[in-house]
Structure formats: C-alpha cells, structure tokens
Amino acid sequence: MDTPRTNESNCWACHASLAASPLLCPHCGKVQPSAGINYFQAFAAVTGGQPLLTLDLAALEREFHRLSRKLHPDRFARASEGEQAWSLAATALLNDAYRALKDPVQRTEYLLELKGQGVGEQNAGRNKSADRQPPADLLEEVFELNMQLEELRMNQKMGEDDPALTADLTRAQAHFDGLLAQVDSDLASQAALWDSGDDTARAAALKSMASLLDRRRYLRNLVRDVKDALATPAL
C-alpha cells in the first residue's frame, strides 16, 4: 500500500473536495489517481469512507454501477494516455473493492488485512498449511472424522459399502455444517461490535474475527472433504 490518502484530498483538475467520491471528482467528473485509496474509501458514498462491516448491498451495487459508467476504460478510449491509465487503475480498484465488499467474509478478511491482522507477508504465494491446523476445541472430533474418512476411502477402493459409516459421516457433515453456521452468526455479531463499539471493543472484535475466520476456513475445508468423500461412488 502506498501512503494512505486522507479524506481531505482534492481533485487534480478543479480542486474540489474528494471526500465523498475519491475516484471520481463529484464536481468536474474527472477520473482521479487511485493510489492509496482503500476499498472502503472507494465506496465512500456508501461507507462514508469508514471501514464498516455492515453494508447495504443494494446501495453498494448502485454505487458500483454509477461509478463504472464514469470510470470504465470504455469511456476513455479517446482520452489522453494518462487518463486512460488512471481509468484502468481506478476501475480495477473499483472492481476489486466491489468484489471484496459485497461478500461479508471477504469484507471481513479485507478489514483484517487493512488492520494488519491478515494472513501476513507472503513468500511467493499464500501459506496453505495454516488452514490445515484444527482449532483446539475440535481436535478430538476432527481426529475421529479423519479416521472415518480414511475408512470410507478404503471401503470405496475395495468396492465395499458400509451404510453405518456413511450414516455416521452424513451426521458428522450436518454437525460441522452447524458449526459453520454458528461461526457465521458469531462473525455477524462481532461485525456489529466493530461498527458500533469504542476503540477497546473494536480491538477485541478484530481479534475474535481473525480467529473466527481461521476457524471458518478450517471448517469449510473439512465439510468440503466430507462432501467429496461421500459423493465419490464406490468403484
């Protein structure tokens, strides 16, 4: 990230304030350089430029369409090279921001990244093994589940069918699905705390959201594995 842009920036062409619309001058309609603008600022008309986790999705889409009409490279096919480059960068940022903000999980992930609680620095790609560490309270259940999955795969290889095992796994899948739903609901409450709380409450919310997201990633992979295993037909 470049130096974060303050909300008091002004248009390069007419010097109007860009507080409500950092990518596009609300006064003269010129496209602005997008370096240093974060996703929440890009949608300042919806977020007030603040990192809010509770967003009106319909308003987000309307603003996405409104800005797209003005910023898209299609509108700058005959403009100067400089404006074309700004349009490309601004539209890429707008699209990236919309993609992240419209999804509650990605929105939270982005906030954590912004606040320095993200996945951290990457060395040639993301660290995939982190998602494979089971949360402490689930260790036992996960161990049991993995044994059953192993057994199921063996059975499938041998062409055998064990209805009891399949039933166990189907139950386990429902159980973990339930845990996943719980995580999502916990995330929503923490998000509300983040949006309305004081600094102390926000710091706490940030921390719990970081661990909730780890738990969520782990559970999602687990549910996917069980689903895949159950969907594999016996040979």
Partner 1 sequence: MSENTSIERVVGIDLGTTNSLVAYMQGDQPVVIPGVDGSNLVPSIVALDPVDPAAESSRPTVTVGNTARRSLIATPERAIYSVKRLMGRGLEDVREELKLFPFHLAEDLQPGEVLRIRLGELTFTPPEISAYVLRQLKRNAERYFGSPVTKAVITVPAYFNDAQRQATRDAGRMAGLDVLRLVNEPTAAALAYGLDRAKEGIIAVYDFGGGTFDVSILKLNDGIFEVIATNGDTHLGGDDIDNLLSAVAIDEIFNDHGIDLRQQPDAIQAVRKAVIEAKIALSTQPAALLDLELPGGLRYQREIPRPVYEQLIAGVLARTAAPCRQAMADAGITPDQIDEVVLVGGSTRIPAVRTLVDQLFHLSARGKQPHTDLNPDEVVALGAAVQANILAGSSAVTDDLLLLDVTPLSLGIEALGGVVARIIQRNSTIPASATEHFTTGVDGQTNVAIHVVQGERELASDCRSLARFDLKGIPPMPAGLPRIEVKFLIDANGILQVSAREQRSGQQASIEVKPTYGLTDDQVETMILDSFDNAEADFEQRQLIEARLEAETILAAVAKAPENPAWQLLTPDEVGAIESTARALEAAKLGSDLAIIRLCVTALDQTTRRFAELMMDQAVSSAMRGKTMQVAGDQLHSSDTIHAPHQFAPAEFE
Residue showing tokens 């509108």: 75
Report, in Å, the least distance between residue 98 CB and partner 1: 7
Indicate whether 95 belongs to the interface with partner 1 (CB under 8 A): yes
| Residue 44 CA: distances (Å) to CA of 19, 134, 151 | 7, 38, 53
Query: Which CB, 92 or 167, lies closer to partner 1?
Result: 92
Site for partner 1 (CB under 8 A): which residue of 4, 6, 57, 69?
69
Report, in Å, the least distance between residue 78 CB and partner 1: 6
Rg from Cα positions in the chain:
23
Contact in structure between 181 and 235 (CB atoms under 8 Å): no
Indicate whether 96 belongs to the interface with partner 1 (CB under 8 A): yes
Contact in structure between 214 and 130 (CB atoms under 8 Å): yes
Query: Which CB, 77 or 136, lies closer to partner 1?
Result: 77
Indicate whether 91 belongs to the interface with partner 1 (CB under 8 A): yes
β-pair partners for 24: 31
Query: Which CB, 23 or 172, lies closer to partner 1?
Result: 23
Query: Which CB, 100 or 172, lies closer to partner 1?
Result: 100
**DSSP H helices in 72-120:** 81-101, 104-114
User: From residue 119 to residue 158, what is the string marking binding to partner 1 with x (rule CB under 8 A)?
Assistant: --xxxxxx-x------------------------------
Report, in Å, the least distance between residue 179 CB and partner 1: 23
Query: Which CB, 132 or 207, lies closer to partner 1?
Result: 132
Q: Measuring CA to CA, which residue among 194, 221, 197 is closest to residue 210?
A: 194
Indicate whether 68 belongs to the interface with partner 1 (CB under 8 A): yes
SS3 24: strand
Query: Which CB, 88 or 165, lies closer to partner 1?
Result: 88
Q: Tell me the DSSP string of 117-183.
A: -SS---SSS---GGGGS--GGGHHHHHHHHHHHHHHHHHHHHT---HHHHHHHHHHHHHHHHHHHHH
Report, in Å, the least distance between residue 214 CB and partner 1: 18
Within 27-66, the residues that bind partner 1 by CB under 8 A are 65
What's the CA gap between 30 and 76, in Å, rounded? Answer: 11
Indicate whether 224 belongs to the interface with partner 1 (CB under 8 A): no
**Residues at the site binding partner 1, with contacts judged by CB under 8 A:** 65, 68-69, 72-75, 77-78, 88-89, 91-93, 95-96, 98-99, 121-126, 128
